[in-house]
Amino acid sequence: MTVDYEFQGRFFDGKTAQPQDVGIAVSDTGLTIRSNDGTVLAVWPADKIVLTERPRAGEPVFIGREGTTSRLIVKDAKFPSAINTIAPRAGRRTRIARRTLIRTGFWVSAAAGAAAIIFLVLIPLLSEQLAARTPESWKRSIGDAALNEVIDILPRLPSETGQVNYCLGPEGLQVLQNLAQRLMSNFQTKSEIRTHIISANLVNAFALPGGIVVLTDGLLKSAESPEEIAGVLAHEIGHVIYAHPTQVIFRTTAVSLLISALIGDFTGGVLIAGVAEWVLNSAYSRGAEREADEFAIDRLNAVGIDGKGLARFFERLLTEYKEDTENPVLRLISSHPPTKERMDFIRARTTASGKAMTVEEWKDLKLACLITGDKPKR
């Protein structure tokens, strides 16, 4: 066997929801997939390789092994040519499999119909109750995997000019976590708030299941005061407390859940991809935004931080971008629409006027992304 090409990619083994960074050796007989320490994770014969999506110029290539739910994502522009060389029928096998599925799918249709009613009707209707009863351990697993997927997807956005990583400046990370703990002081909840900063240019913040709250470096650079960051952080924590991310997963990724059920992928590979796409492209309902605003201002008042910073931040962004609210750098406005009603409500409800942090802490927070790398261990 001769090794013709070497590539890097992301590997979903079909057994766990967590993707792995891998090296891929392409030979005339197929693919050998290895972890970073050299351990062989899988060997895919050339005649079993399937293109799960038609390759598009400039976008990652998605391939799988026939008969399994494992998949590879490779961004290298030379990868499609390498696969075509060793497995020229990979795309044809996908089409054949689809035709076979259609011909033999009558008995599946009845089961799929019943499953569709459960996943597409009942699950969305019961999303609030399901979210309340979902174990915290499950939420943490989904949240961690979704965050990794978000970081993997972000470099495709027009706003990004390079790889996106976790920000690791220890002083800045500690400042943000301390602020979260201050906001949650004397408040009882099952969710442990875990804060992260990522080195993305887009101006955004988002919450994920499992108590995860993420701010981008673009957001930190756009903020002019600690109270603006405190307001955004408190708002995202509000989404966590009301389990909005988990509810949205049940409502908007019901199709992914259905696909996972039909293909036997209960590890969450399809689901995680759906969650990540939702984080970057969707918005909460007005009712959910109102609940998060109420929680944010009540907590800011309780710990003595000026809540008007949240209104000032949104209003300044609206002024700066004016009609350009679809700018790819600015996702916060599209996902958290700052209506006049919301801004008036925030100002009217605010009673505190204190500072969120010291000048030195503010400097440390702003510099958190001078060091980047893999996910910090806590």
The CATH architecture of the domain made up of 3-98 is Roll (2.30)
Query: Where in the chain do CATH 2.30.29.30 domains reside?
Result: 3-98
CB atoms within 10 A of CB 125: 12
Q: Can you read off the two tokens belonging to residue 358?
A: 């010291």
Partner residues linked to 25 by β-bridges: 6, 32
Tell me, rounded to whole angstroms, the distance of Cα 210 from its chain centroid: 12
Q: How would you classify the pairing of strands 20-27 and 30-35? A: antiparallel
Partner residues linked to 5 by β-bridges: 26
Digitized pLDDT (tens) for each residue of the chain, 378 residues in all: 555 668 999 888 877 656 788 999 999 889 999 998 889 999 999 988 888 666 666 678 888 888 777 888 888 888 888 888 888 877 654 444 444 444 444 444 544 454 444 444 454 455 566 666 778 888 888 888 888 888 888 887 776 777 889 999 999 999 999 999 999 999 988 789 999 999 998 888 999 989 999 999 999 999 999 999 999 999 999 999 998 888 877 666 555 555 454 444 444 455 555 566 666 665 677 888 899 999 999 999 999 999 999 999 888 877 776 555 455 445 555 556 667 788 899 999 999 999 999 999 999 999 999 999 987 766
Instruction: Phi first, then psi: give them for residue 207, nearest 5 degrees.
Output: -110, 150
